[in-house]
Amino acid sequence: MSSGAVSPVPRLPSELIELAIYYLSLLSLSPKDLLPCTLVSHEWLVLARNHMAFVLGANHAPVFLECLHSPHVTLLTTARRLRIVSWGDGPSDPYHKVLPLLQQFTRLRALSLWCDPPDDLPMLPELTEFELFGTFPTFNGFTTFMSSLQPTLRRLVLYRVPSKDIPEPSQVAQFPLFELTALGLEFNDNYPPLESLLLRFRTSSLTLDLPVDRHRVGLLQTISRYLAFLAGDLKALHFKCDYEEDIRFVSSLDFHSNTNITCIQIGCAVRFNVSPPSFDIALSPSFETLLAKIMAHSNSSSTPSKIETLILGVETESWRNAPPYPSFHHLSSLLTSPRFSGVRDLQFVVEGSPFCFKGLARLAREKFESLIPSVLPEQLCRIVYCVDGEDPDEVWC
């Protein structure tokens, strides 16, 4: 070999590249995080596109439509994830010109609609993930579209009652049955959950974002009955709590029938005061109560639970006269008890403060991570993993 020859660059197997991009997509909070992968090579470009989400806002619709007609744009044959965000009134809103084209996205597998779709939304039988933030004009329109998603749909998120009208029991009875791997539910005060509709969904993973209202006993009863309906099929439970009051509220749910939960995620379970010099870390006062309720089916405190993964949200803020919280060391004594001997994965999701600038979730996570060895015993530190949460100016929480 001549002295001027360049040694060939070792090539990674496609399976390893795809695995790396997949895990990066799980940890990323913005489609921009995957853009560097598209510049490595054509192979990386093709694999990265499979995990990139294209976000279309109201102001982007005209340019987006123009791009679709360009012979050099391949979005129609490559885009797999699409989010449409618009709250315009009436059919004149630009996003109504995009919705009829959805069937032309031949590889589309995940659709997120942050808008009110029409009843004649195109059928998309290849979708595996669907997120609906808005409402259909009628329940029949919602039923027709959802029927087209069988049997491929695996992940569903509903942020409110999915139609503007109140369906009759006979209409709900005609709604298709779904076997999902993940279901997310959020219902605010103006949109109570329709219990008969919930019973059309079975899932092994449930995310709940419930409004705090001490007077809405009916809401807790409805969700408790749905938890009983899922019974032992439920394996993962995620509470999207933003405040201590949220954790206290969901602690009133009934989990007696959910005997096979292996993964629990609780938002705002840890409070991290980022004001120097203390950098105080504290535990939610209602955290232990909620865990005890989830494991209420076990009669003995010495019997190991089935929980293998515990994911705790870390709220970051600068408090000057913060209300007293239990010491974070209490978490150590809790997780080193026989009850939690099966925990193999302890994750902390460190959120960005609503008063922070973009990127400070990462800085807060790094500081929190550096303090872990001083507040947790070595046996727990070995299973701890910290990730960046969401910066409010980047991602809707």
pLDDT over 60 at 108, yes or no: yes
- At 319, give phi and psi (nearest 5°): -100, 140
269, 236, 239: which is closest to 252 by C-alpha?
239
User: pLDDT band at residue 214, thresholds of 50, 70 and 90?
Assistant: low
Q: What pLDDT is recorded for position 393?
A: 37
3-state secondary structure of 207: strand
Judge whether 78 lies within some domain. Answer: no
Judge whether 280 lies within some domain. Answer: yes
Q: What pLDDT is recorded for position 140?
A: 95
Range of the domain at 292: 262-397
Q: What pLDDT is recorded for position 23?
A: 66
pLDDT tens readout for residues 330-383? 888 888 888 888 899 999 998 765 444 455 667 788 888 888 998 888 888 888
- Taking the C-alpha atoms of residue 305 and residue 297, their distance in angstroms, rounded to an integer, is 10
- At 388, give phi and psi (nearest 5°): -70, 140
User: pLDDT band at residue 40, thresholds of 50, 70 and 90?
Assistant: confident
285, 242, 245: which is closest to 266 by C-alpha?
242
Judge whether 283 lies within some domain. Answer: yes
- The token duo for 328 is 């974070």
Q: What is the CA radius of gyration of the chain?
A: 23
- Taking the C-alpha atoms of residue 193 and residue 11, their distance in angstroms, rounded to an integer, is 52
Judge whether 327 lies within some domain. Answer: yes
- Taking the C-alpha atoms of residue 215 and residue 221, their distance in angstroms, rounded to an integer, is 12
Q: What pLDDT is recorded for position 367?
A: 86
User: pLDDT band at residue 391, thresholds of 50, 70 and 90?
Assistant: very low
pLDDT tens readout for residues 120-129? 999 999 999 9
Q: Is 7 exposed, middle or buried (0-12, 13-18, 19+ CB in 10 A)?
A: exposed
Q: What pLDDT is recorded for position 157?
A: 94
Judge whether 250 lies within some domain. Answer: no
Given CA atoms 77, 82, 88, 91 in this order, what sign does their dihedral have? positive
> Mean pLDDT throughout 225-239?
95
Q: What pLDDT is recorded for position 396?
A: 33
Any idea how long the chain is?
A: 397
Judge whether 180 lies within some domain. Answer: no
- Taking the C-alpha atoms of residue 321 and residue 341, their distance in angstroms, rounded to an integer, is 36
Q: Cβ neighbours of residue 389 under 8 Å, at least 6 residues apart?
A: 313, 314, 349, 350, 351, 352, 361, 365
CB atoms within 10 A of CB 369: 15
Judge whether 171 lies within some domain. Answer: no
DSSP β-ladder status, 53-57 and 236-239: unpaired
Whether the CB-CB separation of 366 and 356 falls below 8 Å is answered with no
Whether the CB-CB separation of 297 and 255 falls below 8 Å is answered with yes
User: pLDDT band at residue 91, thresholds of 50, 70 and 90?
Assistant: low
pLDDT tens readout for residues 156-188? 999 877 888 888 889 999 999 999 999 999 876
Give the E-state strand segments of 199-262 in sequence order: 201-203, 205-209, 236-239
Percent of the chain with pLDDT over 90: 33
Task: Identify the residue whose tokens are 């959120």.
Answer: 351
- Amino acid 231 reads A
pLDDT tens readout for residues 296-341? 765 555 567 889 999 999 988 765 556 678 888 888 888 888 888 8
Given CA atoms 380, 381, 384, 386 in this order, what sign does their dihedral have? positive
State the total domains in the chain: 1
